[in-house]
Amino acid sequence: MQSIEEKNLHDSVVKRTCYWTDGIYLSVHILYLILFIIANSTFMIVMNIVSILVYVLFYFLIRKGKYYIYALSCGAEILIFMSISTVLFGFQAGFHLNIIGLCVVSFFTTYFNKRTGSLKKALAWSIMSVLVYLGLHFYCSFNNPIYTIDKWLVVSLYAFHGICAFGFVVSYLLIFLLYAMDLEEKIKNESRTDKLTQISNRYDLYNYLDSIENKADYALAIFDIDDFKKVNDTYGHVFGDYVLKTIAKIAFDNPNHSFVARYGGEEFVVIIKMYSDEQRTFEIIDSIRKTIEDYQFGFEGIETHVTISCGIARYQENINIDKWLSLADSKLYECKHSGKNKTLMH
């Protein structure tokens, strides 16, 4: 299921692309209009005035969020306009080159309109564009252009259309690439974040621990909410979730921590830099326990206190991450079996 953030990003990209596209196509037809006024081509002047009005109307389609209808209408306008222009002025004017870009646009449109778009429609549109392109090629191979225009205009139009065709392909691929990279980054962040507490999860914890070059400078603490099952059974899981989120925030807001993660269930891991005075390191982590002990948990008319038990382990030479965690966990286990609501250091 698409997240709200992903949907907002998706809609933002589609809307911006449609506005951007409409503005460019409108500008192109205004430029065409100027060129054909200079060339005194009455038919093309009329065609471009019609196209300009069409793209102004398309603006209102975009405002109403009719993106797929806009894309289809826009594609049809380009296909019709470029086909007629190619018949009138021949291949040498390069109008046909813009049809190539429609293939890219069709797949782009399909991806960003998953409800109404489909791969079959994109393929059908691309095949139709290719057939139109080939049909124009064969027609122009056996028929002279209906209108003859000055050489400077022919060369200018071909160069302009070549730029447009490449612009079509590069621009849409660039937009798709930027969207994919942004979405990939968001997915990456989500995969490393605990959904409930919005702090790092176990996966991100291991990445962080792997990234520490001198682990001997750090202490690792695992703490667990005392009798959390009883909290859930007594006050319900909604209240339990509130407790987990609140404790995560208390631990995260501690100014001395280097890293906080939800290890799983009601267990959390805190990493801090070791002080030269070990007692100071102990006191900083124990201060989290004391803050939670004194905190009044209140939610939807329910008020209570909860406590945690915490085990701390200094890094030891030639141990791996799992062993380091195990050392802290052994001290946590000791806390649990010697009265709870306490902190012990290995």
Q: What positions carry a catalytic annotation?
A: 266
Kind and range of the H or E element at 344? strand 343-345
Max CA-CA distance within the chain? Answer: 98
Distances in Å between the alpha carbon of 122 and those of 7, 95, 103, 110, 304? Answer: 22, 22, 8, 6, 59
| Three-state secondary structure readout of 109-177 | HHHHCCCCCCHHHHHHHHHHHHHHHHHHHHHHHHCCCCCCCCHHHHHHHHHHHHHHHHHHHHHHHHHHH
User: What residues contact residue 313 under an 8 Å CB cut-off, 6+ apart?
Assistant: 219, 220, 221, 324, 325, 327, 328, 330, 331, 345, 346
- Rounded CA separation 284/343 (Å): 11
- Rounded CA separation 128/206 (Å): 52
DSSP code for 298: E
| 310: three-class secondary structure by DSSP | strand
Distances in Å between the alpha carbon of 239 and those of 234, 248, 255? Answer: 9, 14, 26
- Rounded CA separation 43/54 (Å): 17
Query: In 10 A of CB 262, how many CB atoms?
Result: 26
